[in-house]
C-alpha cells in the first residue's frame, strides 16, 4: 500500500513539537524537587533557622537539646529564649543549656502574646550583655515570626506594616494577613521605644 503523501513529514513535525514540551516538564520537575529538597533540609536539618541580625539575633524551631547546644556554641550565642508552653521540653532544654554555661530564659507565650510576655522579651532584648541571642517556639513559624516582628519594630525602627509583611513572608505565608488576629496584633502594636543598652545602632540594624 502506498503511504499517504506527507504523513512522514507530519510525524516528524509532531515529534519535534513534543520535544520542547518534554524538556519544559522535565525542567519543572527538577526545579520542584530542588525546592522541596531545600525546604526539607531547612525544616528538618536546620530547624527553620533564620538570621535576623547577622551574627547577633537568630530565630528557629525547637531543636533536640544536644543539637541546640552544638548550634549555640558554634555561633557563640549567649542567650536562648524559649516561647514554648510544653514544660517537659522546656525543662530538658534549660538543663542542657545551663550545664554548658548558656543562659536559658523561658517566656511562655500563646499565639498572641500577653503584655507580660512582650515585656519579658523586650527586657531581654534591650540588654546588650545577652547578645548574641536565639529565640524559638515549637515550629519556628508562628510565635517566632511574631516576636521577630516586635523586635524589628522596637529595635530596628520598622513600621508596623513592614514588620507584619515580613512576618507573613517569613512564616511561609502563614497567618499574618492584615485581617488575621496576629496580623491585627502587629498593626495595632504600640511601640515601647526600647533601645539596646550598650550597643551602637549599627550593631543591631
CATH of the domain at 149: 3.90.190.10
Residues 78, 125, single domain; the answer is: yes
Q: What is the pLDDT of residue 201?
A: 46
Question: Same domain for 30 and 92?
Answer: no
- CA distance linking residue 112 with residue 59, whole number of Å: 17
In the prediction, which pLDDT does 8 show? 56
> What would the pLDDT profile of 14-65 be if each residue is shown by its tens digit?
554 566 767 777 777 777 676 656 655 455 556 889 999 999 999 999 999 9
Q: Please check whether residues 21 and 99 belong to one and the same domain.
A: no
For residues 19 and 163, what is the distance between their CA atoms, to the nearest angstrom?
46
- How far is Cα 149 from Cα 143, in angstroms, rounded to an integer? 10
Cis amide bond preceding 99, omega within 30: no
**Domain co-membership, 180 together with 120:** yes
Residue 66 shares a structural domain with residue 165: yes
Predicted confidence at residue 10, as pLDDT, reads 57
Please tell me whether residues 91 and 3 are part of one structural domain. no
Domain of residue 70, residue span? 48-203
> What angle, 0 to 180 degrees and rounded to 10, lies between the N-to-C axes of helices 115-125 and 142-155?
60
Mark the ranges of the chain whose per-residue pLDDT is less than 70. 1-19, 21, 32, 34-46, 199-205
pTM score, whole prediction: 0.80
According to the model, what pLDDT value does residue 47 have? Answer: 82
Angle, helices 142-155 vs 181-188, to 10°: value is: 10
Shared-domain flag, residues 194 and 169: yes
Same domain, 10 and 94: no
- Provide CB contacts within 8 A for 100, sequence distance 6+: 69, 72, 73
Q: Looking at the structure, do residues 67 and 158 belong to the same domain, yes or no? A: yes
Number of separate domains in the chain: 2
Amino acid at each position: 500500500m502506498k503511504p499517504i503523501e506527507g504523513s512522514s513529514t507530519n510525524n516528524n513535525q509532531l515529534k519535534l513539537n513534543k520535544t520542547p514540551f518534554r524538556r519544559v516538564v522535565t525542567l519543572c520537575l527538577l526545579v520542584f524537587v530542588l525546592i522541596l529538597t531545600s525546604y526539607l533540609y531547612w525544616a528538618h536539618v536546620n530547624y527553620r533557622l533564620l538570621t535576623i541580625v547577622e551574627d547577633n539575633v537568630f530565630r528557629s524551631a525547637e531543636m533536640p537539646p544536644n543539637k541546640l547546644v552544638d548550634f549555640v556554641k558554634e555561633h557563640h550565642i549567649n542567650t536562648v529564649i524559649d516561647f514554648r508552653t510544653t514544660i517537659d521540653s522546656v525543662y530538658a532544654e534549660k538543663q542542657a543549656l545551663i550545664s554548658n554555661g548558656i543562659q536559658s530564659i523561658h517566656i511562655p507565650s500563646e499565639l498572641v502574646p500577653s503584655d507580660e510576655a512582650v515585656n519579658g522579651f523586650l527586657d531581654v532584648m534591650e540588654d546588650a550583655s545577652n547578645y548574641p541571642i536565639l529565640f524559638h517556639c515549637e515550629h519556628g513559624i508562628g510565635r517566632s515570626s511574631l516576636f521577630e516582628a516586635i523586635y524589628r519594630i522596637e529595635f530596628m525602627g520598622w513600621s508596623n506594616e513592614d514588620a507584619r509583611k515580613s512576618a507573613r513572608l517569613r512564616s511561609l505565608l502563614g497567618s499574618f494577613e492584615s485581617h488575621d488576629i496576629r496580623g491585627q496584633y502587629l498593626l495595632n502594636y504600640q511601640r515601647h521605644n526600647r533601645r539596646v543598652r550598650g550597643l551602637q545602632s549599627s550593631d543591631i540594624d
